[in-house]
Structures are given as structure tokens and as C-alpha cells.
Amino acid sequence: MRVYNFAAGPSTLPVEVLEEAQRDLLDFNHTGMSVTEMSHRSKAFMDVNAEAQSLLRELMTIPDDYAVLFVQGGASQQFAAVPLNLMVNGKADYILTGNFATKAYEEALKYGDAAVAASSKDKNFTYIPDMKEVKFRDGIDYVHITTNNTIFGTRYTSLPETDAPIVADMSSNILSEVTDVTKFGLIYAGAQKNVAPAGVTIVIAKRSLLGKHKNICPTMLRYDIQDKNDSLYNTPPCFPIYIAMLVLRRLKKLGGVKAMQEVNEYKAKLLYDFIDGSKLYKNYVEKKDRSLMNVPFVTGSEELDAKFVKEATANGLVSLKGHRLVGGMRASIYNAMPVEGVKALIEFMKKFERENG
């Protein structure tokens, strides 16, 4: 039996997509083999690669002067790839809004003069700094932000005010809300939260920024090389790219990113409204900065939190344990989490509160 899986990543995929992949597994498109078994240079796979790319371009309205790449190494590899490719003048500013943002900054320190322009560490990353107040240094190559903070449950609702290119880690909110790509120099996202299984990482980069990499930049990490080779410089993660294609086809059928955003706002509102109205549960994030994707909450008692997670699991609501840096619970309600899953969670939370409140 399928459960409602609230895991932060890898995370739930649409059941229709899994069923289609299951049907295709032994014989994809009359090739007599699965996507995992065929040459990445075969027409059958090149078509998958091209369709996944063109669907992403269409769904996110990505202009032609941006490259769309499917690479490996996860978002964490991008923490190094970004400075290696873009720190042309050796200087970049970072905004620290969580664990991954801090890791990105620490990696950049290895390759140049990275500096912290703002941080919300003072309140355990429960808010996003006010973009009107953040000042950047002159001559920087880019400003790095993390648009959704998966562990702490915050998201940006406005962007840094700067002429420097904005580089964004969108691993946990890509395709969840409408994004104006032209406001960014580069966007990257590990696929395993909103798009596909782990193994493929999406990079969307303004082409005019590419080709100026540092000499030490590994060939595999060079965006210009990946772009020239249509992400087929070496063997790509074929199966995750194929699942991404199916997820993107479904998203298009459902009405695209705007329609998905409406559903996501509805799901998040249901859950936050319930938490705010309850006596037992609390979410400590600044209201205006609350994530649509990751909803952390606590009961105030570690013992009760543990009991909650255990009983929820027994009721088919799984992976609700919060990250060790925050404790309590976290419900990740990505694109693939149906409204019914959120409603089932709320019903369980009500029952648990009646029994333990």
C-alpha cells in the first residue's frame, strides 16, 4: 500500500509517473529495453533528453540566451561549480539563511573572496533577512541565495537589490511557484525534491556568464562544456532525466507552474492555519517567510514529538521526523504531495492533539 510520504528528499513522486515508468520498464517506446539499458547516444534517449529540456524551458519560460543543463553531483557539487565557473574577479557575496546556504559559502571560500552579506543565524534561521537592508560589496561576480530553506522552512519572497548576477539554489522549490528566470544569472537545483529521483541536477545559466571559468575548474564542472554538449559530455543520469521528463509532462498537463503554485499555496495554508489555530503545535518561522514546501513544527515536548512521529508512521503518514538541527517534525509538501495527503495529516494531528493535548 502507498503511504503519504513527507520526506524532505529524496521525496514522493506522482503515482501516475511511477506507474508509467513501470509500464515502460521492460520495453521503452518499442526499443525492447528500458531507458537504463540504452546508449545515451541512441535516438530514443536523445529524444528524452531533448524533451525534458524543452519542457523545462517552456514551463519556466526560460529565454534562449540561457543554457539548460542536466548534470550530476547534486546541489552540493554546485557549491563548488558556481565559484569555479563564475568567480571571474574572485569576489562573491553570500546570504546565509540555513545549512545549505552556509555550506555553499564555505565551499566558495576555497576558490576566492567569498563574504557574508547577511545571515539569519542569530534566530536559528527562522526568517529571511530584509532584502531592502542588505548591502553588497562593489565588484562582486555574483550574489548567492538559497530561495527555499529545506531544513528551516523559510523561503524568499523578494530578491536581493543588486546589479550583480543572482545565483540561486532552488533545490527545494524549483517549479513550485512562478519564477522570473531573467532576474537570475544562474539557478541550480538537485532534482530529488520536486522533479525526479536523485542523480540529476538542473542548472539554468545565462550564457553570457559562461566560458570565463577558472583554469583549475574541472572539465566536468564547466558549464560551457556541458552546454556545448547538450549535457551529454559524458554518460548522463539517464533514468532520472527520463523521470524528470514524465514529471514535467504531468506538470504541463496540470496547467503548468502557475496552477501548481495555487495548489501549493492552498496546501500550505491548510497546514499553517491548522498549526496556528491549535494549542499543541507550533511553527517558529516568521509568518511572511514561511516555506510553501517544508513545514517544520513542534509540540514543545521531545517525548511527545517522538510519539507523534511513531503513531503517524503507523497511520501511513511517514518521514515526518524533523531535521536534527531543528528537532520536532517537518512535513515536506512538494508538488507531488496531493491535497488529500495534507488533509490526512491534519486529521491525524487533530486526533493526536485530542488524545495528548
Ligand X SMILES: *Cc1c(COP(=O)(O)O)cnc(C)c1O
- Using CB under 6 A as the criterion, which residues of the chain lie in contact with ligand X when the complex forms? 9, 74-76, 100, 146, 150, 169, 171-172, 190, 193
| Spatial CA neighbour of 8 closest among 175, 248, 192 | 192
Q: In whole angstroms, give the CA distance from residue 238 to residue 35.
A: 7
Contact 173, 150 (CB under 8 A): no
3-state secondary structure of 77: helix
Residue 193 or 213 with smaller CB distance to ligand X: 193
For the CB of residue 277, give the shortest distance to ligand X in the complex, in Å: 28
For the CB of residue 102, give the shortest distance to ligand X in the complex, in Å: 11
How big is the chain, counted in residues?
Answer: 357
Amino acid at 189: A
Q: Is the preceding peptide bond at 296 cis, omega within 30 degrees of 0?
A: no
Residue 81 or 117 with smaller CB distance to ligand X: 81
With the CA atoms of 53, 192, 236 and 247 taken in that order, what torsion angle do they form, in degrees rounded to the nearest 10? Answer: -40
For the CB of residue 125, give the shortest distance to ligand X in the complex, in Å: 12
Residue 100 or 239 with smaller CB distance to ligand X: 100
Amino acid at 186: L
Residue 168 or 280 with smaller CB distance to ligand X: 168
Contact 274, 223 (CB under 8 A): no
For the CB of residue 325, give the shortest distance to ligand X in the complex, in Å: 13
Q: What's the gap between Cα 117 and its chain centre?
A: 23
Residue 308 or 334 with smaller CB distance to ligand X: 334
Q: In whole angstroms, give the CA distance from residue 187 to residue 176.
A: 14
Residue 121 or 253 with smaller CB distance to ligand X: 121
Q: In whole angstroms, give the CA distance from residue 206 to residue 184.
A: 8
For the CB of residue 172, give the shortest distance to ligand X in the complex, in Å: 4
> What residues contact 3, with CB distance under 8 A and at least 6 apart?
316, 317, 318
Classify burial at 287, counting beta carbons within 10 Å of its beta carbon; exposed 0-12, middle 13-18, buried 19 or more: exposed
Contact 144, 94 (CB under 8 A): yes
> What residues contact 88, with CB distance under 8 A and at least 6 apart?
141, 212
Q: In whole angstroms, give the CA distance from residue 185 to residue 195.
A: 21
For the CB of residue 169, give the shortest distance to ligand X in the complex, in Å: 5
Residue 193 or 267 with smaller CB distance to ligand X: 193
Query: Which residue in the shown chain puts its C-beta closest to ligand X?
Result: 74
For the CB of residue 294, give the shortest distance to ligand X in the complex, in Å: 8
Q: In whole angstroms, give the CA distance from residue 281 to residue 357.
A: 9
Q: At what angle do helices 74-86 and 99-108 cross, to 10 degrees?
A: 40
For the CB of residue 327, give the shortest distance to ligand X in the complex, in Å: 18
Residue 42 or 102 with smaller CB distance to ligand X: 102
Residue 9 or 185 with smaller CB distance to ligand X: 9
For the CB of residue 81, give the shortest distance to ligand X in the complex, in Å: 11
